[in-house]
Amino acid sequence: MPTYVALLRAINLGARRKFPKGDIVRVVESVGGQDVETHINTGNVRLRLPLRSAARVEQRLEAAFLADRGFEVPTIVLSPAELAAVAADAAAYARPGRHYVELLREAPPPDLAAAIEATSGGGREVHVSGRAVHLLVEDDVAAGAFLPPGLTRLLGVSTNRNAKVVGELAARWS
């Protein structure tokens, strides 16, 4: 049975989008998830599920999360090998400052990837690698120095983690 890593977007932010770890485990198990494990309270889940497609896993989990919570929980699903590759890229790109990784449902086409990387400059460095966008920001650059909203919309469904968390998840689950 395949193992997956599910990364939930925008949970436990404010009073309205609460989704405690125990409830996440319960919901994932209710749709057939086995060996379910979570890491920190930001929606990082390892599971085994007898589906062969990450897209089908995403659909099944999102439907179950909506039914249980009453709000949509966009979910990005990676294989352990994909997660390990993202973590390896993060380590290769490591620089002083902050490092965020935007994990995408789909890899951007080459022209969009080039446009995203072209936003580098002014204390930020941007790299696209498959389904991940690495954003490295110097410490003195404003915290809101993410990708321009227009480009973010073109990326589609995504979720963000810092590189340290990506490395921890890969060490645990890859």
66-112 pLDDT per residue, tens: 999 999 999 999 999 999 999 999 999 998 999 999 999 999 999 99
Q: Residue range 149-159: average pLDDT?
A: 87
Greatest extent of the chain over all pairs of C-alpha atoms, in Å = 47
Q: Residue range 1-22: average pLDDT?
A: 92
List of E strands, the chain: 3-8, 34-39, 44-48, 75-78, 98-104, 124-129, 132-137, 158-162
Does the pLDDT at position 13 exceed 90? no
- Determine how many CB atoms are found less than 10 A away from the CB of residue 173: 19
- The second-level CATH assignment, the architecture, of 3-78 is 2-Layer Sandwich (3.30)
Instruction: Quick: pLDDT tens for 35-50.
Output: 999 999 889 999 999 9
Which residues of the chain does CATH 3.30.70.1280 include?
A: 3-78
Residue 10, both tokens: 């925008």
pLDDT for res 152? 82
Does the pLDDT at position 12 exceed 90? no
Q: Please, what sign has the CA dihedral across residues 95, 121, 129, 136? A: positive
d(CA 7, CA 40) in angstroms, rounded, equals 11
Instruction: Quick: pLDDT tens for 122-146.
Output: 888 999 999 999 999 887 666 555 7
Greater confidence (52 vs 147) lies with: 52
pLDDT for res 28? 98
Q: Which residues of 153-168 are buried (b: 16+ CB within 10 A; e: fewer)?
A: eebeebbbbebebbbb
pLDDT for res 84? 98
pLDDT for res 149? 79
